Amino acid sequence: MYTHYYFIGIGGIGMSAIARYFKHRGVAVAGYDKTPSALTHQLEEEGIAVHYEDDVTAIPQDVEHTFVIYTPAIPEDLGELQYVRSHGYALVKRSKALGEIARGQECLAVSGTHGKTTTSTLLAHILTASGEGCNAFLGGISKNYDTNLLLSTNPVLVAEADEFDRSFLQLHPHIAVITATDADHLDIYNDHAHVVEAFGLFAAQVDDDGAVIVKKGVEVPLENVKARVLHYAYDTPCDFYASDITPLPGGYFDFTINHPAGRIPHCRVGIPGWVNVENAVAASAIALLHGTAPEQVREALASFQGVKRRFDIRLNTPGIAYVDDYAHHPNELRASISSMRNIFPGRKICGIFQPHLYTRTRDFADDFADALSGLDSLILLPIYPAREEPIPGVTSQLIFDRVTIADKVLIEKEALMDVLQARKLDCLVTFGAGNIDRFIEPIEQMLRSRE
């Protein structure tokens, strides 16, 4: 029986949800992270001890009763990780811990190289708003519930199935969605073919009497899948798709969800953007197959408030609009910029982008430049390294030189606020998965002071 759970990398969005889960179960929870953040401060306020120095003396010394969970996003040479490995602690990756928690529950999983956080959070909201309830481990902070963890006595678990480090292969869902299988995490997979192969392995782990719902046109090898295979799309007729899509003011849409058992007319998602119509179709597909009533699906979609840092509209006035988005892959950037053009027609869009990882920058420099060239102006920041060591010759300059718009600058992040102060801004967006989130509040406050 473990009485202490210790987390190495506790500030990660997935790690913090599991830490909160064990705290709720009444055991002692503590952990390490490299830097303080809003999320680690929240954990501390909830009674979880967090420290920010690599300090083995902070690890519970009761080896027999301490269970250690770590994220593969931390460096292998971290002193605390080496210490628990050499001293006989029970030790698993985050993905293994989530897999064990999911065991014995009906797992509804959302996977894909993008779109999974909003879709899984929307699914969890549908089940919660319907009154059924669920346990949910989310990859972002739900704005409806201000948390990344939902708890329920109902043995249904909504999981964001993360392909990084092949984590999603620890899950055996009853129903799963696959939103995209773009090339990403090539430091793990080496090439796109291995990314696609991993999604095929994930699909094959879905229960034989369950279902795999694949976005139409997405490449997934399905020959070993025993579950029922269905497809969803934005507006292309298939098993689940939207029709009668009518634009509304502010970037919202009225639409009908078509599904194998009928139609749900006059749906509307509580957050704008055409991509959220597509996310709504995917989330609704799982909910409907799970057994949620169509009317409850429609009501929940309308009350969905979105996810922090997922196309999060922070400010929207005739004088200035500000959106923050987690986009860190070229296709995510393209979708986000497309949504902004739709929601803010005719506005001049200035984007601030912080590339995430040296390997991703190296592998997709051309694609990043192509996507960012869809902006009116670009402020580019240095690469956020996360877990990686620098790669010679790989800097943000690789992207910068290839961007085709004339209005572009490459600056250190310490100069960002001064650069923004000196600019006349119409529509601003921050992009990235690194520590660019530390600028959200200061930017919003500065823009509001101009009103």
pLDDT band of 165, cuts 50, 70, 90 = confident
Distance CA 317, CA 450 (A): 11
Residues 119-129 have a mean pLDDT of 98
Cβ atoms 50, 10 nearer than 8 A: yes
DSSP per-residue codes, 317-383: -SS-EEEEE---SHHHHHHHHHHHHHHSTTPPEEEEE--B-HHHHHHHHHHHHHHHTTSSEEEE-PP
Q: Is the pLDDT of residue 175 over 80?
A: yes
Start-to-end Cα distance in the chain: 57
Beta carbons of 367 and 330 less than 8 angstroms apart: yes
Residue 276 pLDDT grade (very low, low, confident, very high; cuts 50, 70, 90):
very high
pLDDT digits (tens, 9 = 90+) for 237-258: 999 999 999 999 888 999 999 9
Report whether pLDDT(366) > 80.
yes
SS3 440: helix
For residue 386, the model assigns a pLDDT of 85
190 confidence band (pLDDT: 50, 70, 90): confident
Q: Which helix (H) or strand (E) holds 441?
A: helix 440-450
Task: Say yes or no to pLDDT of 98 above 80.
Answer: yes
**Tokens of residue 194, six digits:** 């291995």
Evaluate if residue 1 carries a pLDDT over 90: no
> What confidence score (pLDDT) does residue 186 get?
78
Q: What angle do CA 53, 59, 63 make, to 5 degrees?
A: 160
With 80 as the cut, is the pLDDT of residue 378 above it?
yes
Radius of gyration of the chain (CA): 22
Burial of 294-306, coded b for 16+ CB within 10 Å and e otherwise, reads bebbbebbeebeb
> What pLDDT score does 15 carry?
96
Domains and CATH numbers, the chain: 4-93 (3.40.50.720), 103-303 (3.40.1190.10), 312-450 (3.90.190.20)
CB 160 within 8 A of CB 271: no
> With the CA atoms of 326, 332, 335 and 339 taken in that order, what torsion angle do they form, in degrees rounded to the nearest 10?
0
Tokens matching residue 369: 């430049």
Strand 427-431 and strand 321-325: the pairing is parallel
Is-above-0.85 flag for pTM? yes
CB 150 within 8 A of CB 136: yes
Statement: residue 451 has pLDDT above 80: no
The tens digit of pLDDT for each residue in 400-446 reads: 999 999 999 999 999 999 999 999 999 999 999 999 999 999 999 99
Tell me: pLDDT of 164 over 90.
no
Instruction: Return the pLDDT at 298.
Output: 98
Q: Above 90 in pLDDT, residue 136? A: yes
Average pLDDT of span 377-392: 94
**Is 42 buried (19+), middle (13-18) or exposed (0-12) by CB count in 10 A?**
middle
Q: How far is CA 377 from CA 366, 395, 404, in A?
A: 17, 20, 10
pLDDT at position 184 is 84
- 248 class by beta-carbon count within 10 Å (0-12 exposed, 13-18 middle, 19+ buried): exposed
List pLDDT tens digits, range 21-45: 999 999 999 999 998 988 999 999 9
